[in-house]
């Protein structure tokens, strides 16, 4: 016989009744904060000052690499500097140049040559920043 007087088996009698943990309120608060953070990050932090795209590069010789890249900047009225690098097969930097960009267009393409100290295998736009 169980605590209610019937002869049916009851797991609650055997193991006891557990109180609800109340996990729904903290889970809801965490979800709301998470959604607000995603919107904040997407709307205000996802647009960097500069966006660069490497279009192509060409190894001209053991001492020179030509790089063609596109830049999109938020403020076209400020001067900028882009760091261009040439790297060898082992990813060592064999050439680096600071490409000065004058105020003007917000979107543009550039072709620049990077002098190298040895044969390069690739070229990259390392970063761009306001001067």
- The answer to whether residue 15 is domain-embedded is no
Q: Mind listing the pLDDT tens digit for each residue in 85-124?
A: 999 999 999 999 999 999 999 999 999 999 999 999 999 9
Q: Give the range of the structural domain holding residue 91, as residue numbers without chain letter.
A: 50-130
Report the number of distinct structural domains present in the chain: 1
- The predicted model scores a pTM of 0.67
Percent of the chain, pLDDT > 90? 66
Instruction: Please check whether residue 6 lies inside any domain of the structure.
Output: no
* Inside any domain, residue 100: yes
| Positive or negative torsion for Cα 126, 65, 95, 102 | negative
CATH of the domain at 110: 2.60.40
CA dist 62 and 39 (Å) reads 48
Q: What's the pLDDT score for residue 131?
A: 84
> Strands (DSSP E) along 1-131, which ranges?
50-61, 64-73, 80-87, 93-101, 107-115, 122-130
Predicted pLDDT at 12: 77
The verdict on residue 107 lying in a domain is yes
Residue 95 domain flag: yes
Q: Is residue 87 part of a domain?
A: yes
Instruction: At 97, list the tokens.
Output: 């140049």
- Distance, in Å, from the CA atom of 99 to the CA atom of 68, rounded to the nearest integer, reads 12
Q: How deeply is 70 buried, as exposed, middle or buried, from its count of CB atoms within 10 A (0-12, 13-18, 19+)?
A: middle
Assigned domain for 77 exists: yes
Task: Give the residue from 83, 72, 85 showing the smallest Cα distance to 117.
Answer: 85
Mean pLDDT computed over 43-51: 83
């Amino acid at each position: 016989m169980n605590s209610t007087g019937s002869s049916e088996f009851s797991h609650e009698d055997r193991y006891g009744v557990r109180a609800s943990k109340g996990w729904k309120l903290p889970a809801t608060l965490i979800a709301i904060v998470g959604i607000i953070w995603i919107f904040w990050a997407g709307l205000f932090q996802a647009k960097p000052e500069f966006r660069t795209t490497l279009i192509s590069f060409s190894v001209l010789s053991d001492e020179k690499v030509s790089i063609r890249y596109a830049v999109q900047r938020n403020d076209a009225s400020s001067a900028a500097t882009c760091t261009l690098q040439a790297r060898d097969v082992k990813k060592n930097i064999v050439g680096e140049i600071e490409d000065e960009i004058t105020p003007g267009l917000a979107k543009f393409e550039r072709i620049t040559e990077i002098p190298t100290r040895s044969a390069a295998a690739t070229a990259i736009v390392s970063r761009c920043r306001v001067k």
